[in-house]
Structure 1
Amino acid sequence: MRARPLAGTAAGMLALAAVAAGAAPASAADPAQLSVLHGVPGLTVDVWVNGERTLDDFTPGTLAGPLELPAGTYSVAITAADAADASTPAIGPVDLPLEAGRNYTAAAHLDASGNPTATLFTNDTSATAAGEGRLTVRHIAAAPAVDVLAGGTAVVSGLTNPKEAVLDLPAGTVSASVVAAGTTTPALLGPADVPVAEGTNTIVYAWGSATASPATLALATQTVTGLHSSPSGVDAGELGLVSEPGTNPWLLTVGALGLVGALALAVARGRAVVPASARATRPDEDR
């Protein structure tokens, strides 16, 4: 299924979400919310859900969603573009176990050694104090441990792939950069101004590869709002390569919606359960 223009995709998502919700038992609890990030540089892919091709030619740097889905397990495989089937995936198959009422981001990315992998993150939607916002930093790049500097001082130290760090901060703007652990220069990403909004979880992903020639490190950002009450959802966006001259790598743009809409279509066609050994990494389970 080829990606459609944004307006048509949004309408399709609404219809597909209704189909997916109809497949859930009448007594089902609140749905899960799922966003998807493609963070594997240089690899245009096809995405298969429950054995069905759901998106052709999905490009790096795309962050899509969220879509409300009934709680359950969704089997996902990612292949090279235009593969005949999902029998030789570049990533997966992995299962995405989604709990009712939780907010997730599934990231296809490189591990620290540069091998394609997938990680399912649980987004922190707990309430923030009045006047505060939340900053989440996720390391999903082929790179060693990093520090995150704010005003030249390390506020996150020794962050490794695929871990995250979560900080509750006064609302405002943080001047931040990412450097190799234990150093202050040169910056691998940034420095740049990161807005921290009251009642919002701003999630920043470092993805790509520091060892590629040239390096392909980039940043992607999403925001989860409504942390002073019930979360209102995720506004997804993407950021360009830091190496591009004249660009601000922290500038948000609107993310594509096609992949997550396709996930719902696959749900309507039936779920598949995969072996426990194929499960996506869950960084929240070992913190």
Structure 2
Amino acid sequence: MRIRFVHIASAAALMVTGLAPAAAAEAQAESQVSVVHGIPGQPVDVYVNGAKTIEGFQPATVAGPLSLAGGTYDVALTKPGEPVASAILQNKTLAVPGGQNLTLAAHLDAAGKPVLTAFVNDTSTIAAGQARLVVRHTAAAPAVDVRAGGTPVFSGLTNPKEAKADLPAGTVNADVVLAGTATVALGPQNVDLKAGTATIVYAIGSAEGKTLALAAQTITGLGGAPHGVPAGQGGLARGSDWRFLFVLLGIVLLGAVLTGRRVSRHEER
């Protein structure tokens, strides 16, 4: 996979629209933009304003971050080697706020249709001894509640929503219940959280299509005084630092499948 960094100047456009200097400065500030590929079975090339930016992007992976100035972008996904005119998914008016840390997810909506969703990543300082966990439901699967120590942490999580919490670093006893109930679908299971780090996990694919998979992104350096804008790191979960991700997301995904089986005989893993 090859990534080219795109820097787009928007000063002329801002002058034409007559924006105030402060607003213009904010719009031109660069954002760090990561991209999650959550559409199963189809490698893609990613175009930004007509320029190929990510080539041979594989499903269930995270690329970037790219540096993009604040503004509106034309983002298109094509089959490898095909032009923008043949895009399989495109958003011609994707808004990118200036000076933010963002993730653009290409995924399936609740009905299984490919969509693009932009998430703003929380890079605020995490208190000493705390860790941030973010779960994003970007799969064609039903809703679940995630509990820690018997207390709901993420409730009624549905596509394309996210839920997040700063939790004490260390071992957390987690389980999944059917949304709005106390009926345990899976667990409990002990998981580990690392201090000063935001871990963002994505449920992707389709329960009905049996293509559920995991993608994960980390943002480090959030404990104590921050140094610049955290860029984050993309990729599949792997290694000992990611053991708790596989456990927690496995719980979430299996809980979603179990819920789906109760809702419809056609939704099964």
Q: TM-score, normalised by structure 1?
A: 0.67
Q: Counterpart in 2 of 1:205?
A: 202
For 1:250, what is the secondary structure of its paired residue? helix
2:125 paired residue number:
127
| Residue 142 (structure 1) aligned with residue 140 (structure 2) | yes
Asked if structure 1 preserves the Cα contact closer than 8 Å seen for 2:144 and 2:156, the reply is: yes
Rg: which structure is higher? 2
Q: SS where residue 87 of structure 1 aligns?
A: helix
Q: Which amino acid aligns with 2:200?
A: I
Change (3 A) 1:233 1:47: closer
SS at match of 1:233: coil
TM-aligned CA deviation for residue 170 of structure 1: 1.0
1:218–1:249 contact (8 Å) kept in structure 2:
no
Number of the residue aligned with 1:82 = 81
Deviation per CA, 1:107-162: give whole Å up to 9, x if none: 00000111111100000122222222211111000101122243565421210000
1:111 corresponds in structure 2 to 109
Number of aligned positions between the proteins: 225
Higher relative contact order (CA 8 A, sep 6+): 1
Work out the CA distance in 1 between the residues paired with 2:118 and 2:85.
Answer: 22
How far residue 96 of structure 1 moved from its aligned partner, in angstroms, is: 3.0
Cα RMSD after superposing both structures: 3.0
Spell out the pairing of 1:148-227 with structure 2 (5 A cutoff): 148-151=146-149, 154-176=152-174, 180-181=178-179, 182=181, 183-186=183-186, 193-198=191-196, 200-212=197-209, 215-227=210-222
Q: Give the conservation status (yes or no) of the 8 Å contact 1:144–1:180.
A: no
Q: 1:205 & 1:176 partners in 2: Cα distance?
A: 17
1:68 partner amino acid:
S
Give the C-alpha shift of residue 31 in structure 1: 1.9
Which runs of 5 or more residues in structure 1 are unaligned?
Answer: 241-246, 252-287
* CA separation of 1:180 and 1:143: change in aligned 2, threshold 3 A: farther
Identity of aligned residues (%): 50
Q: What letter is aligned with 1:41?
A: P
Normalised by the length of structure 2, the TM-score is 0.72
Instruction: Measure, in 1, the Cα distance between the counterparts of 2:70 and 2:153.
Output: 35
Matched-pair contact (CA < 8 Å) for 2:102–2:119: yes
